[in-house]
Chain A
Amino acid sequence: DIVVTQSPDSLAVSLGERATINCKSSQSVLYSSNNNNYLAWYQQKPGQPPKLLIYWASTRESGVPDRFSGSGSGTDFTLTISSLQAEDVAVYYCQQNYNTPWTFGQGTKVEIK
C-alpha cells in the first residue's frame, strides 16, 4: 500500500499570511504515460464532507479560489494557501489515487493565529 504522510499535523497562521502543507507518498504517484501525478487535496470543515480542492497535484477544481495552489511531483507535494482567510480554517487532506487502496494523509488542521 502507498502510505501518505502529511506535515505538519497542525499549523496556526495569521490572516493574510501564507499557509503551507506538505504531503509525502511512500512511492511515486507519477503516471509516466500521461505525466500526471495522481495526488488530490481536500478541505474539510467541521460537520461537513470533504471538498475537492486540487487534483493531478496542481489542477484547481472549478470554483476553488486561486489562493489555493498545489505543486510537487513524484513523492513530494505541497498545498499552499497564499493569503489565509477566516473561511479557510479547516482540516486538509491529501490523497493518492495512483494505486488501490486509495489512501489519505492523516490530515493537517489549519487555524488562525
Chain B
Amino acid sequence: EVQLLESGGGLVQPGGSLRLSCAASGFTFSNYAMNWVRQAPGKGLEWVSSINYSGDITNYADSVKGRFTISRDDSKNSLYLQMNSLRAEDTAVYYCAKPRHTGSYYFDYWGQGTLVTVSS
C-alpha cells in the first residue's frame, strides 16, 4: 500500500525557516518524480515544486523560487522541502504527491499534509 507521510510543519515567524519531510513507502520511490503541492486555508491547490526521479532536475513555482529548495534521499525513501524567508502567504497545508505514472505530473497518491503557519 502506497503511503506518504509528511512532517515538519508548525508555527514560524516571518523570515524564518522550516524543513518539511515526506516519508514514502509502498512503491519504488527512486523511479518517480515527486512533488509538493500546497493549499492555503479555505483556498485552492497550488503546485509548489517538483524533483525528477534522479534528483538533478527541479522546478519551482515563481512564488517560491529562490526561497524553497526541494531534495530527495532515495536511500531513505524521503522527499524534503527546505523553506527559507517564509512569508505570511506561505501559510498552507503542504502535501507530498506521487505521480500516477513515471514521467507524469498528475497525482494519484497524496499525503495527509502538514500545516505551516507563518505568523508573528
Residues of A bordering B, CB below 8 Å:
1, 38, 40, 42, 44, 49-52, 55, 61, 93, 95, 97, 100-107
Contacts and interface: CB of A to CB of B under 8 A. Distances in A.
Given A49-B95, A49-B113, A104 B44 contact: yes
Contacts of A51: 110
Contact of B45 (A61, A93, A97): A93
Nearest to B46: A104
Contacts of A104: 44-47
25 contacts: A1-B62, A38-B105, A38-B106, A40-B106, A49-B95, A50-B45, A50-B107, A52-B107, A55-B100, A55-B104, A61-B100, A61-B108, A95-B45, A97-B104, A97-B105, A97-B106, A100-B59, A100-B105, A101-B47, A102-B35, A102-B47, A104-B44, A104-B46, A104-B47, A107-B44
Interface of B: 35, 44-47, 50, 59, 61-62, 95, 100, 104-108, 110-113
A101 B60 CA distance: 7
A44 B108 CA distance: 13
A42 B107 CA distance: 9
Given A44-B45, A101-B59, A104-B46, 19 more contacts: A40-B106, A40-B107, A49-B95, A50-B45, A50-B95, A50-B110, A51-B110, A52-B100, A52-B106, A55-B100, A55-B104, A55-B106, A100-B50, A100-B105, A101-B47, A101-B61, A103-B47, A104-B47, A106-B44
A68 B107 CA distance: 18
Contacts of A102: 35, 47, 50, 105
Contacts of A97: 104-106
